[in-house]
Homo-oligomer: A and B are copies of this chain.
Amino acid sequence: MRVPSKCRTCGEPAIIDLPRHNAKFCAEHFQELCRRQVVKAIDQFSMLTPADRILVAVSGGKDSLAVWDLLIELGYQADGLYIGLGIGDYSDVSGDYARAFAQERGLHLIEVSLRSEYGYDIPTAARATRRVPCSACGLSKRHLFDKAAIEGGYTVLVTGHNLDDEAAVLLGNTLRWDIDYLSRQLPVLEARGGFPKKVKPLVRLTERETAAWCVVRGIDYLVDECPMAAGNKHLGYKDTLNSMEAVSPGSKAAFYLNFIDKMAPILASHFQEERDALGTCGRCGAPAAGEICAFCRLVETASAHEPVPVELVMKGRR
C-alpha cells in the first residue's frame, strides 16, 4: 500500500515531492518554500534592497518568468528585458510568452531585436564566426543586458540562473580547475567599471522547482530547450549531476552551496588583484579589453554575413 502523499506543513494532499528536502508539499506551502529560498539567497548574499531599480533578463522560459514573478510578489520594483535572438520559431514563441506575462501583470518589458537593431541573429552569428551558437548568444546577451541596465539607470541586473545551471557551470569549471572562472562564480557580482551589479536570486531553487512554481502560479512559459543548445557540454554536466542527485538527494545543492560557503572565500583572497583594467570600446563605449569590444566585433562579422536559417545551422552540426 502506498503511503498517501501529504504536505509536510499542513497535512493536505501534496502536489510535489522534494527528496532533497525529504518532504512533500501542497501548492500553497510549496510556494512558501520557494519564496523562503529566494529571500534566503537575497539576504545571504545582499543581492537586493527595496530601493533597487531592477532589470530582469527575460527569455520567456520558466526561470526568468519565475524570478520576475517572485521579485514582484516580494515587493521589488522590476522591469523586464527581452532580447529577440532570431532563433527561428523558438524565438518567436519565447517572445510571445514574455510579452503575455508582462501584459497580464501590467509590467514593463523592454525589447531589443538583434536582427532589426544590429543586423544579425544567432544562427547567422554562429555560421559567420564558425563557433558554437551558445558562444555568440552568450556574448550578445551579456553585452545587451549590461548596456540596457546601465543606460536605463537600473541598479541591479537579475538573471534567472537556477541551482542546476550554477551547479553545472561549477562542475565544468571544476573538472578543468579553471581557477579564474571558479573565483568569479558567485551569485552576486558587484558593479565595476561600466558593468552593472548582477545577481542570481534563484540559486537555491532547482529547475524542477522553478518549473513547478510556474505551473502552480499559472504562468505559461516556453517549455522547449533552445534547439541550438542540444548536445552542449552544459547539458551533459546537468545530466551527470542529476544522476548523482538520484542516488544521493541533496548532493547537487551541497556541491554548489558548499562551494560558495567554503571554497569561494579561499579563491577570493587569492584572486582579488585587479584582473580587468579594461579600456573603453571605440565604437560603443562599453568596457573593452582591446580597441573594439567583442560585441562590436561580432556585430561586424555577423551583420556582413547573409542570413542563415536556424535549420541550416542545426543540419550542419549533425
CB within 8 Å of B: which residues of A? 174-177, 179, 236, 240, 243-244, 247, 251, 254-255, 258-259, 261-263, 266-267, 270
Give the shortest distance, in Å, between A239 (CB) and chain B (any CB). Answer: 9
Residues in B neighbouring A261, C-beta threshold 8 A: 177
Q: Could you list 22 examples of A-B contacts with CB < 8 Å? A: A174-B174, A174-B255, A175-B244, A175-B251, A175-B254, A175-B255, A176-B254, A176-B255, A176-B258, A177-B255, A177-B258, A177-B261, A177-B263, A179-B262, A179-B263, A179-B266, A236-B244, A236-B247, A240-B240, A240-B243, A240-B244, A266-B266
Most buried by B among A174, A175, A247, A261: A175
Bound-state Cα–Cα, A258 to B176, Å: 7
Min C-beta distance of A14 to chain B, whole Å = 29
Shortest Cβ distance from residue A90 to the other chain B in the assembled complex, whole angstroms: 25
Contact of A266 among B174, B251, B262, B267 (CB under 8 A): B267
* Interfacial chain B residues near A236, Cβ < 8 Å: 244, 247
- B residues within 8 A CB of A255? 174-177
- Smallest Cβ distance from A1 to chain B, in angstroms? 23
CB of A275, distance to nearest CB on chain B (Å): 16
Residue with the highest number of chain B CB atoms closer than 10 Å, among A236, A251, A263: A263
Chain B residue with minimal CB distance to A239?
A: B243
